[in-house]
Amino acid sequence: MSWYCVQLTSAQVAAGDAQGIHKKFETVFHIARAPTDTAMLTDTLAVQDLITLYFYLPAADFAEAFIRSVNAKPCERPPPDVALSVGHNDVRERLRRGEI
């Protein structure tokens, strides 16, 4: 499975959890030399008071360690209107086309 996610409440976001996960992903993304098949996306569900962080990590060397470190769970593809947080600019378009 290539998609993983972490759901955070607004209290966790206020405590800096989302920012910490973002920084950690950004660090490993750059260490891995910005692979085109790796991305972090964010979906804000204001009605449910949740923020979902999605990670596309197909067979990356760092994937398993990162997934464990943030307690990410396997999940389905995110909706196509999520925001790109870390990754190449074409990720959202590739998501819309069903390529990732």
Tens-digit pLDDT profile for residues 30-76: 988 888 888 999 997 656 788 999 999 876 667 888 999 999 999 99
Distances (CA, A) of 84 to 11, 76: 22, 17
Could you read off the pLDDT of 5-23 as tens digits, one per residue? Answer: 999 998 999 999 999 999 9
pLDDT of residue 64: 86
**Contacts (Cβ under 8 Å, ≥6 apart) of 52:** 5, 6, 7, 8, 42, 43, 45, 78
Give the global pTM: 0.90
pLDDT of residue 96: 84
